[in-house]
Chains A and B, each alone.
Chain A
Amino acid sequence: MKKLLKKSPYFLINFLSSLDSGSIKLNVDGEDVLKTTFDKGNMLVNLENVKPLKGLKILLKLPTEEKSLLSQFSKIKDLAEYIKKKNLTISLSWKNKDLVVIGNKAKPKMLKLVLRTDAIEIKSMKDLILLLNELR
């Protein structure tokens, strides 16, 4: 399984580039969790209810402080630049609040100097940390 998934993020990005339009909803145990909308190279992931995902924070070892969060983002820098190279944009929002933009339409300001990439934009660090705390 791990061997199969080893290159899955890049395979997934290649697959996403073939999606023109439409949406995918994820429901876990009867509860709507997220809706992902595709529109010509733009993918918007809107988290609606993170209750079924509780516990993922520990599993994913997600940080809840700004400094360690930025360190995690620096680790996906190569993947973010690959997304940009493929002319794709992945946006994450939670309850319709924009959190992160990765890829082509990311417009980082100061963060560009910290992460040394222009492919990752954090729209709201405060809401992002709030979300991570919700996943406890």
Chain B
Amino acid sequence: MSEKIAETISEIIEKLAGKGSDLVLTFEDLTIDFAGKPVKITGSIKVDVHYVKE
């Protein structure tokens, strides 16, 4: 099943890259437990999808 999901994610990235979509991820007070210490992240990341066929 995980192979099927991986294939699907790969196809989605390929599709989005083909469309040239702009993806923006915005983090609001995202607190991650990093090696027992809380790390807080706030901000935005614009994702440019580059897809290279194997």
Binding site for B on A (CB under 8 A): 1-2, 5-10, 18-30, 38, 52, 55-56, 59-60, 75-76, 78-79
Contact = CB atoms under 8 A, between A and B. Distances in A.
Give the dominant DSSP class at A's interface. Answer: mixed
Pairs A-B, 5 closest by C-beta atoms: A22-B30, A5-B6, A27-B24, A25-B26, A20-B31
Contacts, number: 93
Given A19-B30, A26-B23, A1 B10 contact: yes
Give the dominant DSSP class at B's interface. Answer: mixed
Interface of B: 1-13, 15, 21-34, 38, 40-41, 51-52, 54
A25 B13 CA distance: 18
Contact of A22 (B12, B31, B34): B31
B21 A29 contact: yes
A136 B10 CA distance: 20
27 contacts: A1-B51, A2-B6, A2-B7, A2-B10, A2-B54, A5-B7, A7-B2, A8-B2, A8-B9, A18-B34, A19-B33, A20-B31, A21-B30, A22-B27, A22-B28, A22-B29, A22-B30, A22-B41, A23-B27, A24-B25, A26-B25, A27-B23, A27-B26, A28-B21, A28-B22, A55-B15, A59-B8
